[in-house]
Amino acid sequence: MTELSLIHRFEPGTDAGRRPLLLLHGTGGDESDLLPLGRAVAPGAALLSPRGAVLENGMPRFFRRLAEGVFDEADVRRRADDLAEFVAAARRAYGIDAPVALGFSNGANIAAATLLLRPEALAGAVLLRPMMPLGDPPEADLAGKPVLMLSGATDPIVPADNARRLADLLGRAGARVEHAVLPAGHGLTQTDIARIGAWMERERVPATA
Ligand code: MLT
Tell me how far apart the alpha carbons of residues 193 and 139 are, in angstroms, rounded to a whole number: 31
Number of domains in the chain: 1
Share of the chain above pLDDT 90, in %: 95
Report the pLDDT value the prediction gives residue 190, as an integer from 0 to 100.
98
Mean pLDDT in residue range 16-30: 98
Is pLDDT at 2 greater than 90 in this prediction?
no
Report the pLDDT value the prediction gives residue 74, as an integer from 0 to 100.
98
Report the pLDDT value the prediction gives residue 208, as an integer from 0 to 100.
62
Task: Note whether residue 87 is domain-resident.
Answer: yes
| 129 Cα nearest atom in ligand 1 | 6
Longest dimension (CA), the chain: 48
Confidence of residue 96 (pLDDT cuts 50, 70, 90): very high
Residue 106 Cα, ligand 1 centroid: separation in angstroms? 4
Is pLDDT at 112 greater than 70 in this prediction?
yes
| 133 Cα nearest atom in ligand 1 | 3
The overall average pLDDT reported for the chain is: 96
Task: Note whether residue 2 is domain-resident.
Answer: no
Closest Cα to atom 7 of ligand 1: 106
Ligand 1 pocket residues where CB is under 6 Å: 26-27, 65, 68-69, 105-106, 109, 157
Q: Which residues contact 203 (CB under 8 A, 6 or more apart)?
A: 19, 100, 124, 146
Q: What angle do CA 71, 190, 207 make, to 5 degrees?
A: 90
Per-residue pLDDT of 127-182, as tens digits, reads: 999 999 999 999 999 999 999 999 999 999 999 999 999 999 999 999 999 999 99
Closest listed residue to residue 109, CA positions, set 41, 24, 22, 20: 24
Domain enclosing residue 182, as ranges: 8-202
Mean pLDDT in residue range 47-69: 97
CATH (domain of 18): 3.40.50.1820
Task: Note whether residue 209 is domain-resident.
Answer: no
Report the pLDDT value the prediction gives residue 36, as an integer from 0 to 100.
98
List active site positions: 105, 155, 186
Report the pLDDT value the prediction gives residue 56, as an integer from 0 to 100.
97
Report the pLDDT value the prediction gives residue 1, as an integer from 0 to 100.
40
